[in-house]
Amino acid sequence: MPPRRPRRGPGHFVRHVRVEERSDTGRYPYTLPAVRALGEHGLDLAAGVTFLVGENGSGKSTLVEAMAVACGFNPEGGSQNFRFATRASESSLGDRLVLSWSGRKPRTGFFLRAESYYNVATEIERLGLVPSYGGRSPHERSHGESFIDLVNHRFGPEGLYLLDEPEAALSVRGCMAVLARLAELADQSCQVVVATHSPVLLALPGATILEVEDDGTIAPTSYDDALPVRLTRGFLADPRAYLRHLLADGD
């Protein structure tokens, strides 16, 4: 892990996100309530680390992906210098998203899209960038180990980082390691936006948690009230009650 740098305070590069007027095509992703809300009201982003939470299909990953495209990152993941493509699956939202920037621009950045990181790892090898990612090819590490290598070795100060469900490859201990690294990055003038379901990551002190509601509203919430935390706590407190409901035969 890189040596801890002096505390500088959280970075704030992207301050506001909105959808261009007259962008609604009547098709996905513009039918998502969250995207409609962005078109009507936009979204303010705080400095430091912001988490987006919500149910599957709420649009949080779609939003993070679109932000990455609007920032100039490769849609499948990577830095702004990555230009490979395997199978285009991103929506058109990134081309219609308007970002309001502060006066400062990030020195570096990265988009981690968990589902396509295998393709990013292949590009890292092809470009000869393995030394910048911990010295071992991501293909020679487990999925989770390669994620931790990425945030420890590739992510640096004054950067803008967009992460889509990084916990997909991580154990609970791995999530704790990433949480600790996010705290360091916030101290190093970075701005990070993370779509997540992980109650471990959400525990990061000082982070902003935005919850995407069923009606598309995107509003701040507390750790205790965040959906992943409430559901996980409820299940762990009384799994039998949940299982009686989930496994009921319907008779």
Give residue-wise pLDDT tens across range 162-208. 999 999 989 999 999 999 999 999 999 999 999 999 999 999 999 99
Cβ atoms within 10 Å of 129's Cβ, excluding its own:
16
pLDDT bin (cut points 50, 70, 90) of residue 85 is: low
Token output for 153: 């070795």
Using CA atoms, how far apart are residues 141 and 215, in angstroms rounded to an integer? Answer: 41
Domain 14-246 architecture:
3-Layer(aba) Sandwich (3.40)
Using CA atoms, how far apart are residues 198 and 163, in angstroms rounded to an integer? Answer: 13
Using CA atoms, how far apart are residues 242 and 124, in angstroms rounded to an integer? Answer: 43
Quote the radius of gyration of the chain (alpha carbons, Å).
Answer: 18
Domain range summary for the chain, segments of one domain joined by +: 14-246
**Which residues neighbour 85 within 8 Å (Cβ) at sequence distance 6 or greater?**
74, 75, 76
**Which tops the pLDDT comparison, 226 or 118?**
226
Q: What is the pLDDT of residues 4-39, one digit of tens each?
A: 555 567 899 999 999 988 777 788 888 899 999 998
**Cis bond before residue 29 (omega within 30° of 0):** yes
Using CA atoms, how far apart are residues 162 and 61, in angstroms rounded to an integer? Answer: 10
pTM score, two decimals?
A: 0.90
Residue 8, pLDDT score: 66
Q: Tell me the pairing of strands 218-221 and 108-113.
A: unpaired
